[in-house]
Amino acid sequence: MHRYTNLNSDELKGYLEKIRRIAKMDNDDALLEVDELIYNLALRGTVDPYTGLGISSRKSDYSVDVDGARQELREFRNRLEDVRKSAMSGLYEGWDEETGEFISIGELANRLGEDWPKSVKDVLHEEIAQIRQEAHKLVDELQIRDYSDAILVSKKRNICNINSARGILKTLSSAEDMLREKGALNDDLCQEVRRERERCAWFRAKRKFLEIEVAEKSGNRSKAARLKKEAQAILEQDWRNIFPNEQCPNIDLIR
C-alpha cells in the first residue's frame, strides 16, 4: 500500500485512536486537541509521492524537537489511560512491522523515543523514564488481574477427561508462578489453587464411584471391593503426581 507519510503502522494507529477520541469531545476541548495534533504532524515530514523519498526523516536531528517529543509522550500517556479504563488486557497494543506481531505496552514504552535525536532524549530523559515506569506498572497490574481471574475461572471449567484436567493444572501452575513472582499470590488465591488441584486429583477416582455403587446395591460385594481398591490405586497415582510430598487420602473420606 502506498504511503504519503513516513509514519509507521503503529504511529498511524495512534493518530487514528486520537482522532476518534477527539470526535467525542466538546468543541472547545476538541479544537485544542486538533491544534496540538496538527502541530505535531507538521513536525513529522512526509514522503514525496513521486520519488518515494522523505521530505524530512525521523532519523534527522531536525525531525523531532522537544515540543514534538513531549506531545508524543502525552499521547502515549493517554494511551495508557485508555487501556486502564477499558478493562481489557491491554497487553498487546502495537504492531511490529519487522516481526509482523503485536507487541506489548511495556515494549512500546521501551521503544518510545528510540529514534529521537540524542539532544531531545537528553532533555526528556526523566520524563521518558517516568512514562516507561508507568507503562510497566500498568502491565504488572493487568497481568496480576488476568492471572488472578484465570485461577478463579478455573473452578467453573468442567473436567470431562484427563486432558481437561491437565489443562486446568497447567493454567494453575502458570498463574501461581507469575503471581508469586510479582508478590501478588495471597492466601485466598492459594486456597483456590489448592481446591482446584484437589478436584483434578480426585477426578479419575470419582469416576469409579458409580461402578462401586452399582456393585454394592446389586449385592456383588467382591466386585465392589475390587473396584474400591482400583479407585484407591488411581487416586494414589494422581495424588502423587499433583501433590508429590503429601500423604494420599482414603477414598472413604468422601463416600
pLDDT the model gives residue 70: 92
Cα gap 18→203, rounded to integer Å: 51
Query: 170 and 193 in contact (C-beta within 8 Å)?
Result: no
In this prediction, residues 126-147 reach a mean pLDDT of 90
- Counting the structural domains of the chain, the total is 2
88 and 139 share one domain: yes
Query: 152 and 145 in contact (C-beta within 8 Å)?
Result: no
Residue 163 in this model has a pLDDT that exceeds 80? yes
88 and 37 share one domain: yes
pLDDT the model gives residue 233: 96
Within a domain: 225? yes
Residue 47 in this model has a pLDDT that exceeds 70? no
Cα gap 189→100, rounded to integer Å: 36
Residue 170 in this model has a pLDDT that exceeds 80? yes
| Mean residue pLDDT across the chain | 81
pLDDT the model gives residue 95: 46
Cell of 13: 494507529
| Least confident residue range of 49-58, 110-119, 126-135, 184-193 | 49-58
Cell of 95: 504492531
For residue 48, what pLDDT band results from cuts at 50, 70 and 90? very low
Per-range mean pLDDT, top range of 41-45, 52-56, 172-176 = 172-176
Per-range mean pLDDT, top range of 8-22, 73-87, 183-197, 239-253 = 183-197
Count of Cβ atoms closer than 10 Å to residue 151 Cβ: 21
Within a domain: 219? yes
Cα gap 35→59, rounded to integer Å: 25
Of 122, 145, 168, the last residue of a domain is 145
Q: What is the pTM of this model?
A: 0.63
Cα gap 58→65, rounded to integer Å: 11
DSSP collapsed to 3 states, 56-111: CCCCCCCCCCHHHHHHHHHHHHHHHHHHHHHCCCCCCCEEECCCCEEECHHHHHHH
In this prediction, residues 60-83 reach a mean pLDDT of 81
pLDDT the model gives residue 176: 95
pLDDT the model gives residue 193: 97
Q: What angle do helix axes 9-23 and 27-42 make, rounded to 10 degrees? A: 160
For the chain, the residue count is: 255
CA angle in degrees (0–180, nearest 5) for 141-144-148: 145
Burial of 236 (0-12, 13-18, 19+ CB in 10 A): middle
- pLDDT tens digits, one per residue of 81-110: 887 777 554 454 554 445 444 467 888 888
Which amino acid makes up residue 4? Y
For residue 125, what pLDDT band results from cuts at 50, 70 and 90? very high
Higher per-residue pLDDT: 89 or 167:
167
Of all residues in the chain, the percent with pLDDT exceeding 70 is 78
Higher per-residue pLDDT: 108 or 2:
108
Cα gap 182→45, rounded to integer Å: 43
For residue 57, what pLDDT band results from cuts at 50, 70 and 90? very low
CA angle in degrees (0–180, nearest 5) for 90-96-102: 30
Instruction: Provide the residue range defining the domain that includes 126.
Output: 9-48+56-145
Cα gap 1→21, rounded to integer Å: 26
121 and 187 share one domain: no
15 and 123 share one domain: yes
Within a domain: 152? no
Of 145, 171, 188, the last residue of a domain is 145
- pLDDT tens digits, one per residue of 214-254: 999 999 999 999 999 999 999 999 999 999 989 999 987 66
Within a domain: 4? no
Residue 123 in this model has a pLDDT that exceeds 70? yes
